[in-house]
Amino acid sequence: MLLSRTPDSPLETRYVDLIYLRIADADGQSSVIAHGNDVTESVLATQELSRAKQLLFDQFAKLPVPTYLWESREDDFVLLISNEAAVRAAPSHGSRAIGRLSRDLFPGMDAVREEMATALRDNVVVRCTAQFDGGPKLGMRRVELTIGPQQPSRVLVHAVDTTARIELEAQLRQAQKMDAVGRLAGGVAHDFNNLLTVIGAHAAFLLESLDSGDALHEDAEAIQKAGIRAAGLTRQLLAFSRKQILKPSVLDLNAVVGEMENMLRRLLGEDIEIVTRLAPIVKSVIADASQIEQVIMNLAVNGRDAMPDGGTLTISTQTMTIDESSVHSQHIVPRGEYALIEVSDTGVGMDATVKARLFEPFFTTKELGKGTGLGLATVYGVVKQSAGYILVDSTPGKGTTFRVYLPAVEPSAARDDLRVAEDSAVRGIETILLVEDEPAVREIARRILIQKGYVVLPASNGAEALATSAAFDSTIHLVISDSVMPGMTGAEVVRRLQEQRPGLKALFMSGYTDDEILRRGIVSSTAAFIQKPFMRDDFSRAVREVLDG
């Protein structure tokens, strides 16, 4: 009501607690006596408390971390309230979970209940981790819990889902390990190829000089064949290290699988049933056709080896969109549209230990002498170099499924994507000595090479190049030299560098035409040469071809 505290003060709203008393006199006349108590301060305090409670509740509800308030109930805890983030994290534990016991909501989590009891009993904050089954959609989840006591009988629990972070950390560790092994494998392959070139050439010389009936002819032939097989292994190492030259094109995966089906039946044998489940329409991809065929063949052979007593190998294709609902792959495969190749077998399967090392070069579970351990390493390298992803699901005794995700392209975008794929196919990690007297050209070439992943040692002239080579203790894989420079020609620089480092490869560049260079005798007709001015992609491709030649 509107009241004035004093006759001269303004009217204001006051809350008054009134008590009315009816009194009757001897004549039967009644009167009412009212007694009022000003409770304004008490009412305002109650309203403020109510607003504070509502604000606290709203803040609780909007906390970004799933949060639960539990109350002790005998040997268990009952859920009093949970916030919106908790409902999103576990929809099955929404409003229907209020009032239920933790043992009913999270069976098998006795250790967490003990930690809640400890926090309440000792009045301390407890931190722990737990795993729970989030149902068919969410799967097993790992959470970090912070349990705070709310005396006398309640605990507040913050639950941070760390499943994705842990998976990403594991993927990062695996990627770093594979990258390190890949760098080693690629370096070994390149150096080993130099040795194989010598071995193969001398074996050929021997075969030419020996009669077919000579006892040594068979030995020379065995050396040559071993060299050829070894060259095949180095090619697989290069595939794993993602340093091979790819020839990307627009591919229809259904057509690739269809063309391989008869060959796979002959390769795998009669005791393996091959089933193909190809979606009517699968979006195109940008990849090297021969390498994708190699991926499918290696996965098929791996499946055959996992089914020694026969079984079924299933190859399927489909277009798949990865989004937030793709629970099992979204943390590994980025969101987007993919063409999927799936190869499944009904074989022996594998445990977590084998899966962790599955794509490592030379790792194999086969008997000694029955496998190189490079089949799946090659698959990994090809898929990665094709900008794709590969996942594996396997359980001992229940078979294995490999899923290869390749980025899908629209026909209108195929040309641009093909250009990007061709660009990615000319990357490397080798060390290159760059000799160029023109600073601007040297800087441009250096930047291009660094962008492609190479280690670059720049030099402005022949003398500096020789000094840089002498001071550099590790391997130099290629020298790129301008053909015409003051003081020392490119050919002289390369000759002296190759005396220091036998087997060093070379690429010449010059503003002169190649005919002029040959006419002037600056370089030989067999030397690798690129004409200035050159485009970035042409330069990158020339470098890669010389390194892999």
Q: Are 238 and 189 in contact (CB under 8 A)?
A: yes
Q: Are 383 and 343 in contact (CB under 8 A)?
A: no
Q: Of 161, 195, 224, which marks where a domain is finished?
A: 161
**C-alpha R_g of the chain:** 38
Are residues 260 and 196 both part of a single domain?
A: no
Instruction: Provide the pairing of β-strand 336-345 with 311-322.
Output: antiparallel
The per-residue pLDDT for range 162-183, each reduced to its tens digit, is 877 777 776 666 666 666 666 6
**183: domain CATH number?**
1.10.287.130
Name the least confident of 110-124, 153-167, 223-237, 482-496: 223-237
Mean pLDDT of the chain: 80
Q: Would you list the DSSP string of 453-465?
A: T-EEEEESSHHHH
Nearest to 86 by CA among 67, 109, 58: 67
pLDDT at residue 221 is higher than 60: yes
Are residues 465 and 539 both part of a single domain?
A: yes
Q: Which uninterrupted H or E stretch holds 543?
A: helix 536-548
pLDDT at residue 389 is higher than 80: yes
pLDDT at 373: 64
Are residues 261 and 401 both part of a single domain?
A: yes
Q: Of 372, 387, 417, which marks where a domain is finished?
A: 417
Are residues 409 and 270 both part of a single domain?
A: yes
pTM to 2 decimal places: 0.45
pLDDT at residue 205 is higher than 50: yes
Higher pLDDT, 28 or 277: 277
The per-residue pLDDT for range 103-129, each reduced to its tens digit, is 888 777 888 889 999 999 999 999 998
108 vs 45: CA distance, rounded Å: 46
105 vs 86: CA distance, rounded Å: 13
Q: Cis omega (within 30 of 0) on the bond before 248? A: no
**69: domain CATH number?**
3.30.450.20
pLDDT at 520: 46
pLDDT at 260: 86
Are residues 490 and 401 both part of a single domain?
A: no
Name the least confident of 308-312, 418-422, 491-495: 418-422
pLDDT at residue 522 is higher than 60: no
Are residues 1 and 58 both part of a single domain?
A: yes
Instruction: Provide the pairing of β-strand 126-133 with 140-150.
Output: antiparallel
pLDDT at residue 57 is higher than 80: no
Are residues 154 and 173 both part of a single domain?
A: no
Are residues 175 and 111 both part of a single domain?
A: no
**467: domain CATH number?**
3.40.50.2300
Question: E strands along 233-307, which residues?
Answer: 249-251, 272-278, 284-287
Q: Which domain holds residue 190?
A: 169-240
Q: Of 187, 218, 240, which marks where a domain is finished?
A: 240
pLDDT at 514: 42
The per-residue pLDDT for range 238-284, each reduced to its tens digit, is 555 544 545 678 889 999 999 888 888 888 888 999 999 999 999 99
Question: E strands along 484-549, which residues?
Answer: 505-510, 528-531
Are residues 355 and 231 both part of a single domain?
A: no
> What amino acid occupies position 481?
S
302 vs 294: CA distance, rounded Å: 12
Nearest to 279 by CA among 296, 257, 304, 263: 257
Are residues 45 and 76 both part of a single domain?
A: no
pLDDT at 291: 83
Are residues 154 and 270 both part of a single domain?
A: no
**353: domain CATH number?**
3.30.565.10
Higher pLDDT, 373 or 322: 322
Name the least confident of 164-173, 249-258, 331-340, 401-410: 164-173
Averaged over 459-488, what is the pLDDT? Answer: 89
Averaged over 285-292, what is the pLDDT? Answer: 85
Are residues 279 and 389 both part of a single domain?
A: yes
Instruction: Count the domains in the chain.
Output: 5
